[in-house]
Structure 1
Amino acid sequence: MVNPTTIRKKFVNRLKSVPKSPGVYFFKDISDTVIYVGKAKNLQNRISSYFGNKSYDSRINHLKQNIHDFDINITQTPNDALILESYLIKKYQPKYNIRLKDDKSYPYIVINTQDDYPKIQYTRNIKSKTERKLKIFGPFSKAKEVRRTIDVLNKFFPYCTTHVQRCSENCENAVTKDEYNAIVSQIINFLEGDHKLVINRLNHEMLTAAKNKMYERAGRIRDQIESINEFFKLSNSKSSSNSKIDYIGFTLSDDIASFQLFESRYTNINNTFKFIMEGVRSRTNSEILDAFINQYYFQKYDKPEIVVVSVCPNIKEISTDVLKLKNKIMKFVIPKIGEKKRILELAVNNSKFNLEHIKRAENDISKTLHTLKTKLNLKTIPRRIECYDISNIQGTNAVGSMVVFINGLPRKSEYRRYKIKTVNQVNDYQMMIEMLERRLQKLNINEPDKIPDLILIDGGKGHLSSTYKVLLNSNFPEISIASLAKRHEYVFLPNSSEPLDIEPWSNESILLQQLRDEAHRFAIQFHRNLRSKMSLNHSLENIDGIGPVILKNLLIKYRTVKNIKMSKHDDLIKIKGISSNLANKILSELNK
């Protein structure tokens, strides 16, 4: 830990050169990790205040002791600083900030209304908030129900499909542009809540199918109806209002806040979302709500007109870009009685339940990790476990995977993939050795959070023996290592020929199995992607006229042979280097 007086002396000249303008500052620890992001109207005054004699709470005092460096981003206005702060907190997840923990990428439905023939598209990634031409619906909480609903739309509105127009090109009576846009308007109305017509038609078809003893068809239609109902969240939680309303309930415990958000669009509760925020200790309810609103609505497209809350946010701390709607400003309401209060209480009760569930799960995981420490005779509780696996077919396209569990839960942002470079034959031992050597060389003593408490190898005694030697010859011989054999789920430790006495159905064995299975899944996924890419390259390289540049452009745009096969001549010739003749040749060769 760094003494604040020492760091002030270190930065005395830099502090003088910091401008007195608005902006964002971020503090870094000794390993150059961003540990705090803040906004300021006057950067120099704000940063200097951390190194004075002013008394702060324990959280800030602890932060001050860990500051090793700082950096700044100047903005034109304080509001720009607020926007940038929200973005950087989401990007870096600094340990001393209130941060929204939600690594899900929720699905959206988008319709490009400026296209001549707009398509319904499913996406998890909307690249730019300036895409004003998109009609955006979402995010939605369940991808499965969204896909099923799109399938239903494709049935009732067959011209507007997810990938290609089924009929508009092939049918004799293709629709006109005006007719097509009228259909799109119906779809938009459906997605905005007017779904009764479609539900009624499906119910009629289901009853007809059942009457004709076409039970499988009736079952499929029933599933479609259920998906639409799930999609629109038809429940007892209905609002009589025609406005777009969000209900935000939250509950606090220690350093965690559990949020439950209900989205009401056109009388129905369409979506429910759960979130966790960390770093809330010693913060007021208003501060926590401000942070949630800034981070959640920062890149949200379908914003509510009204947000129903239990405490009043500090509007000055919320970005004007977050608050701004088309022709109005987002309004916050604290209900005293009535329907809004009832739905808000439901959101609060759900947030309490979610928090209790998290706490129970944390207690269970804590017990499991303590038991694992005892059973494996580890030096410390294995809060960070890394598991390694290899995937190849007869030595070709050999790849390795590393998955990371922290406190018993997967941390996907820290997963890593490895292309095996030095082993050209079938030799799992050598492949595992190469991967572990490369991983251990990346570890840094100044980043203790990245050093595993336990390394788990997918394999038996042979795999463990070879990798244990790598560990002993590294700069981190003190790291514990074990292996998990698929047969009987045996757990082995170094220098022992017998497996440990761990029941395969025990919580600690199940945790190790989850790690092993996740590493296996991740390795196979990477291996399949490589094989698919090689197959794509081979298919295209055999077509006369396709060189490295055109091949690269095709890969960037289409990614798979299937997508290229489904493409159109007019789309292909838009790619740099592809002439009309070459486009015809590509489609002809791939569709043989």
Structure 2
Amino acid sequence: METPALEVQLQTLPSSPGVYQYYDKNQKILYVGKAKNLKKRVTSYFTKRHDSHRIGVMVKKIKEIKHIVVESETDALLLENNLIKKHQPRFNVMLKDDKTYPWICIKNERFPRVFPTRKLVKDGSEYYGPFTSFKTVNTLLDLIKGLYKLRTCNYDLSEEKIRNGKYKVCLEYHLGNCKGPCEAKQPEAEYNSNIEAIRQIVKGNFKESLQQFREQMKQHAEKMEFEDAQRIKNKIDVLENYQAKSTVVNPKITNVDVFSIVSDEGYGYVNFLQLSHGAIIRSHTIEMKKKLDETDEELLELAITEIRQRFSSKSKEIYVPFKVDAGEDVKVTIPKLGDKKKIVELSQRNAKYYRQERFKQMKIVDPDRHVKRIMAQMKEDLRLQVAPTHIECFDNSNIQGTNPVAACVVFKNGKPSKKDYRKFNIKTVEGPDDFASMEEVVFRRYKRLLNEGEDLPQLVIVDGGKGQLSSGVKALEALGLRGKIAIIGIAKRLEEIFYPGDSIPLYLDKKSETLKIIQQLRNEAHRFGITFHRNKRSKSALNTELEEISGIGEKTVIELLKQFRSVKRIKEASEKELAEVIGVSKAAIIYKYYKSKKET
């Protein structure tokens, strides 16, 4: 229960939009959040029952609440983001991406230079970006240098100094990479025209540069200057080739940001695509560590604010897969079909691929963390009390009603533990009865584990629907283990998960890791059970064929099968061939037995 001081604070909170901050007894900030209605949102933390253990822990630590009222939800969104970045509260989502990104700078000077940088200097220069890697920046700058001749020196090319002949052209001029503005060999207007074209290319607009080059090529061709026309044609090819490499979406879709998210128990992965003039000019994915089991909506809202600030996005419209609050100045679109829908799906694919890559890296760098993450996900998906690090799965095999057997396979930390697999001959059940067989093997398995003082599993899975599950539950009840071990059933046809006492099944996402592990367990139990069943049937067949022969025992049968591989070949073997394997006397017995059968 909250302290009296907190009670007073809760009662006096305004019903306005704003940002709230929770502090512990040492005045250390625990959490920063935004709200459309401060009173409603903050009060809910103290009146609702929380499924999340982490929220419960945080609420117990809260000793003081501070709040800031703002004009609108947009202001609350931005203020929340700034406060989180400033204070890094313990229970807030952590963005795992704090590196400095490169920019392209067009320097504020006469005959501006164009170069990459990580530092933004407030001297009136133009900065475009940030870009997600230097590789992207260098590719773009290589394209620009191939199209336009720009100076690379850092001389002060003032009109007076050029007029007084202070500078001489350098090697770059003689190599054809610069037109020599330092000696007034290139007019300032022409150079600035190139800079304007470069601005458009960096923004993703290739249209004006292409039009300009095509016009120049036409003029050269009309004057019979075919070498110059070919040189311009080469530039057009380079520009068109670069444009084709960037994903062209639809020329009508311009100045739009696209966001999507995939998440698991501990992390959210948000992809950002920036569209300009029908092309994707930027793609970036960030990883966000959850602190309080935040929803996808909450994570995406935080990510949108952070990413748009980081990349200085001025787009007035965003595409997202579901409704979010992005602020009053931004139009939020949830595309339903066509090119807009496809671009959101592309963003989602990028987020999924990023998540898969992170998992692969995690397996290599920190395999324990990967296992813990999967176990935590299974615990959440299957509504378990503890993570199922030890799972056992049962399957019955009584094909055509003969030789009923059962198999138990064991997974530890999500992987098969084959040394712990067990197989069972059904002893107390007459005829094919799946339910009674399941009850028998579950009872025998855990009675033995209890007697031997072995560790019990956290989760038992039975292959089958409600009937098999009920049988497993009866066995656990008889042993006093009901409630101590979680038990579920999986029905084959629709992959339905059944719980004791619940007639409505759970349907897991077909792509979820939890379902994949359950399917793997079920398939492994089926394989192990079928193999045992086949072996038993084969042995049963041997008993009726070879061991019926007087004077022939099991060891002799095994020796013969090792050599001849089948009963049919033994029947067809000569007495001499049999004698080489089992001796003259036993060979004579078997040979005479099958010879007499042929004659009859």
TM-score normalized with structure 1 length = 0.46
TM-score normalized with structure 2 length = 0.45
Structure showing greater radius of gyration is 2
